[in-house]
A and B are shown apart, each in its own frame.
Chain A
């Protein structure tokens, strides 16, 4: 089995994986970073979004071996200790989550969206999150949270 080495949330990790092992499986099953979720098997729902080398990626579409040598950030690596990232804080403030299952992927996507577009309009947020499905919130409060998070990320 191939061995992969990568940096996850600032920590050097390695593990033996099968060729078919997906990045999300490596994160969840081997590193026990279960904050990243699996909501579908067709790369549609976005529950598994993480950042790979600073870019948001659906970790179910990437083999673990493809992430060899990469810098990976998962939802567990976003907050500084107990201090939430501004986007996480905005989701809490604006009730942008209910069951919490899509939330990690939604937050990771939102952070990347705002990085690329610091002042997104409502429509840009809706278009930008088209790859993240939420069944609970109707997106209303997610949109509000991302708008507020974008402002807060300007620090």
Chain B
């Protein structure tokens, strides 16, 4: 059914009415009868021993119900979901991760005590009465220095703070490629730490029903079933049938709400202890020091080329900061989500990458929008930009020369992945046209007349998402499968409820999935309800991250719908006294081929539930099907981003004046939502390039960018309107053809911005600028540049 609400239609979102009228239901909006409030006393030190904790005054404070410390907590620690093995075959160092610290704190914000009171203010007041005797210890903050001999140690078992020392690719082949190179371009890069900052702070409400023995956790999660599995099986030992996890409306995630956090375990565990519900909601300052942070790589890379600029080999060495503990997905991010992407869109025949993960006395680092792929893309696209300048080649020409050609798919990279489809020249050509690349020189000259330095930068990127084939990720260290579950329940009157294990926290699943199913079943979109976010309603799920919801979760729904159609076809055949082989389903009607005999979908649904005239010996009554879909491969979106900046040399302020993104995200169900996803990703990518940076004091380990007055979130006046285009090649291995769109904006854009800044400053001889390119940094680069600005 191609219609105003079908696949490809820009259907207005069904979730918007409640959000626009204040009727959303976020975790902090939930209040349970008899609810108490939790406050967590946190470490003010980056590294200290806890010599003594005295909670007696806090326990006696007004309204206090209970105070728990590490000595009271008798359950398990937070598990890590991925295990990496080092070059030498040894498993990564995997330290304990208790929800409440007992003897030692390892980052500012680490959990020390959990205070529960009748009101939040009372809990917070009581926490001030807790006396903790800390013996301060030296801290290590720097990613680069963490593994130096003599650095303060985060964990006794992790010598020189090394969690793992891993590699991928063919070292000998890569060395051989470098040996025959005509030119080698080298680059040193820092991909700075970021703080995800979903606008809704994390929150958790724990509840325990003594009558049934059932625990319920309401939480700000992207994947409630994963939380149930991790917390139930590994932390609190509550079996799944006695544990319900609900992720209601969630105000943005960007990765930071994938992970299982201490507070979720604490409110659930303590609710059982006090037999009353407990609500905990992070204050923003608390979120800054407890939400898993992102990126934080220090890298050196070298690109070997022949005399014509053809890439021969790539060598990369990266140090990645894990923070003080291993968060749920953390070890996978700088390995299988990063180094496997180092081929990018290029046919580089030999690649070798080493990644050393280090512990520091900082907040744990884990997946943040793009997760590893922005780091790989930034490294590659900065390196290619530098290579073009050194080879005196055109920025576009060097990319074209090295693109994986369209006839090479499926293309096996030297770093494990096999790309199924793509058309890199097409997205490039479209972006060049939309951005008026050819007209740039005129714009540069016009800007120069106004005293502005104008530059243009390009990034041709690729990413791997649609996470992920279970057998593949299992062999790479994942401790879980990464399939998805979908359920389609047809009601007797023909309306449909669909259940998905993915979770929408801004992505608009309630609209997109309804389009997918109403289109497939030929029924009005109003007759389809989408349910997500509750482990008691949805059979199972792995959740939403890695741009997987449509490619994996949508595919599960399509598989379930296929089963519905297959069964309904048999029922329809019975009703029409025909062979099922002769019945076709189209636009909501079952028809005997070549006749005018037809029954509508609704009549078949009713027959399934009122089976008076029914093939009862062949078929069960009812019309409800579940499918689990395990993807056959990752999906590979890609595209071209072009950024144009103007720099005011007087102030160093950089303004993005044009931004063009042409992406290939596979099949598009709702173009309005897809464009919105790209916009949001671009804002985060431009934010990384120009504004955002998480800064700790290197000595004390205090977070210096701990509020919105210090951490520069992109605001409306920092960004331009975007030009967004789309060129589709279909994913070849899932039933929808979708690739994924959630992360492309954040992956492709940072190098385009920085390459544009370098281009603007290149007349002065500037060849490098690090992220974020703040006015101060740019101004300093101008001041210390080899060449001076021409006198005005």
Contact = CB atoms under 8 A, between A and B. Distances in A.
SS of B interface (majority): loop
B393 to A, nearest CB: 32
B713 interface: yes
A32 B22 CA distance: 11
Contact of A99 (B21, B506, B673, B709): B506
A39 B21 contact: no
A88 B23 CA distance: 13
A35 B285 contact: no
A138 B713 CA distance: 11
B719 interface: yes
B284 A135 contact: no
B693 interface: no
A20 B717 CA distance: 33
Interface stretch (B9-17, B304-312, B335-343): B9-17
Given A95-B673, A129-B716, A138 B284 contact: no
A39 B252 CA distance: 11
Interface in A79-116: 79, 84, 88, 91-93, 95, 97-104, 107
A88 B12 CA distance: 13
A98 B506 contact: yes
Nearest to A74: B22
Contacts of A39: 199-201, 284
A136 B507 CA distance: 9
A133 interface: yes
Interface stretch (A42-50, A51-59, A64-72): A42-50
A53 B425 CA distance: 57
Contact of B252 (A44, A129, A135): A135
B672 interface: yes
B707 interface: yes
A44 B709 contact: yes
A96 B129 CA distance: 45
Contacts of B26: 34, 37, 101
B676 interface: yes
Interface residues of A, number: 56
Contacts of B721: 122, 140, 143
B701 interface: no
Nearest to B254: A135
A92 B121 contact: no
B718 to A, nearest CB: 8
B600 to A, nearest CB: 30
A133 to B, nearest CB: 5
A104 B721 CA distance: 22
B252 A92 contact: no
B89 to A, nearest CB: 41
A38 interface: yes
A16 interface: no
Contacts of B715: 129-130, 133, 139
A99 B22 contact: no
A34 B22 contact: yes
Interface of B: 12-13, 15-26, 28-29, 31, 121, 197-201, 249-252, 254, 283-285, 505-508, 672-673, 675-676, 679-684, 707-709, 713-717, 719, 721-722, 745
23 contacts: A34-B22, A35-B22, A37-B200, A38-B28, A38-B201, A44-B709, A75-B21, A76-B21, A91-B16, A92-B13, A98-B507, A99-B200, A99-B252, A100-B16, A100-B18, A100-B251, A104-B22, A133-B199, A133-B708, A133-B715, A136-B680, A140-B679, A140-B719
